[in-house]
Amino acid sequence: MRAAFARRYDQLMQRFEQGPLRDARSALLEGISGTVVEIGAGTGRNLPHYPPTVDRLVLTEPSPVMRDQLRTRLAEVSPPFEVEIVDATADRLPLNDDLADAVVSTLVLCSVPALGPAVAELRRVLRPGGEVRLMEHVASEGRWAKRVQRALDPAWNWLEGSCHLDHETRTALAAGGFDVSGVEAVDSPMPLPMVRGVAVAPG
């Protein structure tokens, strides 16, 4: 992600974060517990929504600019559990196998170059039966809309710094062995199709 875009991310997302997106984050993280890994934690928008049932939270974020903002928000929220910030991308996590009870991904998997390696990493760091709690914008289910997304994707990716319009995230998770029956298309607070829910790693 370009540094200039990273600095303006909170400002650009503010109108979405003030209502439905904020509420969706809270609902997604309700009841999450144990050791949690959040990939692409960004500026820490999820931090206020983690419940005290979390024992340890590992926040991964590859952007130095966003990590600085993340540290600031962490100091403001001061959660009642251990928090670690790690410089890492979703497809190369410097974490042990079977470490996490849950992985959180919100508006992140759109930014990985390829979904396969990222999904494999999520499965590796999750314990058997662990959860991926996700909220992601994705490719449209409509044939013509999807063609438009694919045509616009190179320009959008350049403009936004890494974001892709045409990732088929639910399909990629299923191909990686996850049970995606708990991941559904939802009304999006953004002008892009979105899925939200829980994918379960093989037991």
CATH number at residue 168: 3.40.50.150
**H-assigned helices in the chain:** 3-17, 20-29, 64-77, 115-125, 143-160, 169-175
Rounded to whole angstroms, the Cα distance separating 30 from 161 reads: 31
Gyration radius of the chain over CA positions: 16
Residue 139, Cα to own-chain centre: how many angstroms?
A: 16
* Tokens read off for 70: 């993340």
Helix (H) or strand (E) holding 20: helix 20-29
For the cut 50, the answer to whether the pLDDT of residue 74 exceeds it is yes
Residue 17's pLDDT band (cuts 50, 70, 90): low
3-state SS, residue 116: helix
Domain count of the fold of the chain? 1
Give every CB contact of residue 10 below 8 A, 6+ residues apart in sequence. 17, 43, 45, 69
Q: Which residues constitute the domain of residue 26? A: 3-200
Whose CA is closest to 54, among 25, 85, 79?
79
Q: Are residues 103 and 133 in contact, defined by beta-carbon separation less than 8 angstroms? A: yes
CA pair distance 37, 15, nearest whole angstrom: 27
3-state class of 136 per DSSP? strand
136-170 residue pLDDT tens: 977 666 565 555 556 454 545 555 556 766 778 99
Q: How far apart are CA 42 and CA 24, in angstroms?
A: 17
Rounded-to-integer distance, Cα 156 and Cα 115, Å:
18
pLDDT score, position 186 = 85
Q: What is the rounded CA–CA span in Å between residue 149 and residue 116?
A: 20
* Half-sphere CA count of 19, side-chain side, radius 13 A: 6
Burial class (CB in 10 A: 0-12, 13-18, 19+), 60: buried
Residue with tokens 């953004």: 190
Q: How many residues does the chain have?
A: 203
Q: How far apart are CA 189 and CA 4, in angstroms?
A: 24
Confidence of residue 131 (pLDDT cuts 50, 70, 90): very high
pTM assigned to the model:
0.85
Instruction: Identify the residue with better confidence: 27 or 138.
Output: 27
